[in-house]
Every structure is written in structure tokens, then in C-alpha cells.
Amino acid sequence: MSHITGDQGKGRQGLRLPTPPGNMNYSRFLTAVSAARRPSAIRILTELQQRSPPSLISLAGGAPNPDTFPFQFATIKVKNGDSIVFDEATMKRALQYSASPGIPELLSWMKGLQKSLHNPPTLAYSPENGQMEMCVTTGSQEGLCKVFEMLVNPGDNVLLDAPTYSGTLAALLPLGCNIINVPSDQHGMIPEALGDILSRWDPADAHAPGSSVPRVLYTIPNGGNPTGASMTARRKQEVYELARKYDFLIIEDDPYYFLQFQKPWAPTFLSMDVDGRIIRTDSFSKILSSGLRIGFVTGPKPLVDRVVLHIQASTMHTSTFTQLMVSQLLQDWGQDGFLRHVDGVVQFYRSQRNAMLSSADRWLKGLAEWHAPAAGMFLWIRLHGIADTKQLIMEKALEKEVLLVPGGVFNIDSSEACPYVRAAFSLSTPQQIDEAFKRLSALIREAAQP
């Protein structure tokens, strides 16, 4: 890991300049738990063995003999007519332990995709200076949870724009941090508001021992869950500049990146990352399968390595079977085939979104307000005349046979009154969506206070 001295980043007149590219001191971001993690000797041997020629005779490792396993082979039909074949040898591999960062062919395919989509400046950096690295996780949720554990101490100030994904709150809140809510609108986090919050601190104090300057910012940049908000490139750039000024890391949780309804897709934080301060989580849950549980962490190698140490000590690795299944599909498809598939998925969600918007116009005009989401699968609706949607949904909505998520569950303090509901346009047909909004409109009319 690289280290910087106390004077690093100061200009000649004592003015503080942003951290020079590739000069991050990653150790200052680690929790004591993460810093204490050591590589597992057995895991290293397993990985060594898997990279060795078949002539190697290994009495190391404690892997079971796959000849004793009951499964023999499998053929998985793909909707385009192709097949993914697990012959006997592949099946044995699929049923066996594998490397903690992920199987090599899936990792290298994904690195190629990240390069094509984001071309992160850090690709060319040395490993210790934040070179882009990746690991496979069991869904992006595992990655997020481990990233938080790596970076967040009790009492730390953490920046995020709530309402936000309840899974993030579930992972963060028990860590005992102090979450600072950065105001946001339909274009996501507002950089001016973030600047105001940060102006409480002097950037020069960021590296002082015991400093309370936030070291982590979390945001969902596209099709936010629950708000549907998507950040503009300008906002991302401004937030990134603040991260440089105050030297904090940005966690870019982007599972709806592939569900952007308009092209060109917005540039990501990762694509702007000249310093190596972005940790990005990607997910295949919305485009290939949510049940296979495949996600990825992309970020500076010194930090991704820490996530991998945590994986070594917990799940050991994401299921080899599901990694092989997805990897074979991606090798067959190539990047073009993958992106063609994504286009098809986007087309589906775009027309679902449009159907929901027209039903909202038909039934909820004057009773509620909303913004058309540019990505994702959610419409965030503010109900007029209802201070808190919790009781309405939990008690009255079921009677009317319509269910939505009361917005409060996405707030840092879920007991706070919240006039919003989240409606998903992923699963229901346009007819069902229309009927649901008709029922919701009746519910609002009955419950709304003038």
C-alpha cells in the first residue's frame, strides 16, 4: 500500500490541492477489523493449485473428491437456442471449491467489460497505487456489506442521499455510524448541498488523527431504489471534485446501470476516477438472474484485496456452479451479445415504465405527484394529503387488494412520517398496474386530509 505524508497535497503557498492521482493512502480508510485480516494459507494454496498444470501432484488443500458427488452432467438451454453444457469434467469443477476473488474466466470477461464501458483511468496504475481490480460477490449486496465493514467504524460520519435502498441501511445502521443525509432530487444527490454539509469541516483536517471528516459517501447513481433518480454527469463530476477536496471514497452502487432507458448511458464515477477513490458495485440480478447471486466489486486493488480477504473468511467464494454457468454464457455471447441482451431487457422495462406512467396520469393526477424515472424499475410517488403512508399501506391497502412499499422504510429513521410510496413496474402486467393505480386512487381519496 502507498502512504502519503502529512504535507502531501499541499501547494507551494500552503494551499491544499486535491490528492495527486494514484497517491491515495488506503490504509487510513480501513477499519481495525479489516486491517487485521490476513490471507488464509489454505486459500492461497488452493488458488495456486488451480493455476498449476495437471501434472502437479498435490497432497495439499482439503478439497473433497468430486468423484463422490452425485451430480454428473447438465445441459442448460438458453432462450436463444444455444446450450450451456456442463460435461463431466466441467461438472466436477463446478461442484468444487474455487478461488475467492472469482473464477478467472469470469473475472477477465468482466474486466474487459468494465474497460469497454468505463475505461477507468486507474487501469494503468500500479497495483499499490490503486490499479482497477475486481472480485465476484454473491450478489452486489454481499459486496456492499463487506465494503461497509471494511470502511465504517462506530461513530464515523457517512454521507448518503436518503431515501435509499433498505438493504444498504440494513448493512450500515448496525455498524453504529452517524449517517448524514445529503439532500437530493430527481437528479440524485445535489452537489451544492453536499458542499454545504462539508463546509463544516476544513479539508486540511481530513488526515488529522481522530478527524470527523467523512471518509465514505454512498450513492445509487442510476434509477435509484426507491426514488428512480439518476445523477447527471455534471453532478457526478462535482461530487467527485468534493471527494478529492475532502479525500473521501465514493461507493457507487449501480445495479440499475444496465437498465437506463436512454442512450448514451451516463458516464460513471468509475470512468472519472483519476485518484482510485471509487468502489463500484455491479449486479447481474436485474439482467441475468437475481437468484444466481452474481455481483462484482470494482475498485482500487488495495481495497478490493481486503474485500477478498473477508470473502476468504466467510463464504470462501461465490458458487462455482453459478459462476461457470454465467461465464459460459458470456463467453458464448461476447460483449456484443451481452449488450444486445441488455437492450432487450431495457426495452421491456421501458415499456413497463411507460405503461405505469400512463396509468399514473389516468388515475393519480391531482392526488399524487411523481417524476418519470430514467432508469431502473421504480416509480416514487408522493401522495397528496397523506402525511405518512405506513398506516395506509399496512392497514387499508390490503383491504383494497393493492400493495406498495410505504416510503418510510427507505429513510434513515424509518419511524419518521413519509408521504411517499414505491411502486415497482417490473413484475405486473400493464393491465394489473392500471387496476392497482385505480385502487390506489380510491384509497387516497378516502384517506386524504383536505
Ligand X SMILES: Cc1ncc(COP(=O)(O)O)c(C=O)c1O
Residues of the shown chain interacting with ligand X in the complex, contacts defined by CB under 6 A: 139-141, 165, 167, 220, 225, 253, 255, 283, 285, 290, 295
Residue 102 or 255 having the CB closest to ligand X: 255
Residue 378 CB, shortest distance to ligand X, in Å, is 9
Whole-number Cα distances in Å, 44 to 50, 61, 98, 308:
10, 10, 11, 12
Residue 258 or 370 having the CB closest to ligand X: 258
Residue 171 CB, shortest distance to ligand X, in Å, is 10
Backbone angles phi and psi of 251, in degrees to 5: -95, 115
Residue 171 or 213 having the CB closest to ligand X: 171
Residue number with the shortest CB distance to ligand X?
139
Q: 419: which 3 cell numbers?
A: 408521504
DSSP H or E segment with residue 295 = strand 295-300
Residue 295 or 419 having the CB closest to ligand X: 295
Residue 185 CB, shortest distance to ligand X, in Å, is 18
Buried residues in 322-351 as b, exposed as e (16+ CB within 10 A): bbbbbbbbbeebeeeebeebbeeebeebbe
Residue 426 CB, shortest distance to ligand X, in Å, is 10
Sheet of 405-406, strand order: 368-369, 378-383, 420-424, 405-406
- Residue linked to cell 392497482: 436
Instruction: Kindly compute the dihedral angle of the four CA atoms of residues 130, 134, 135, 141, in this order, to the nearest 10 degrees.
Output: 90
Residue 160 CB, shortest distance to ligand X, in Å, is 11
* Separation CA 238–CA 241 (nearest Å): 5
Residue 46 CB, shortest distance to ligand X, in Å, is 25
Residue 125 or 296 having the CB closest to ligand X: 296
Cβ(283)–Cβ(266) below 8 Å: no
Residue 139 CB, shortest distance to ligand X, in Å, is 3
Residue 43 or 353 having the CB closest to ligand X: 353
Residue 80 or 290 having the CB closest to ligand X: 290
What residues form DSSP beta bridges with 406?
421
Q: 410: which 3 cell numbers?
A: 427507505
* Separation CA 181–CA 194 (nearest Å): 9
* Separation CA 261–CA 354 (nearest Å): 11
* Separation CA 123–CA 353 (nearest Å): 36
Residue 102 or 139 having the CB closest to ligand X: 139
Residue 131 or 219 having the CB closest to ligand X: 219
Q: 303: which 3 cell numbers?
A: 481495497
* Separation CA 113–CA 380 (nearest Å): 31
Residue 152 CB, shortest distance to ligand X, in Å, is 16
Residue 377 CB, shortest distance to ligand X, in Å, is 9
DSSP H or E segment with residue 403 = none
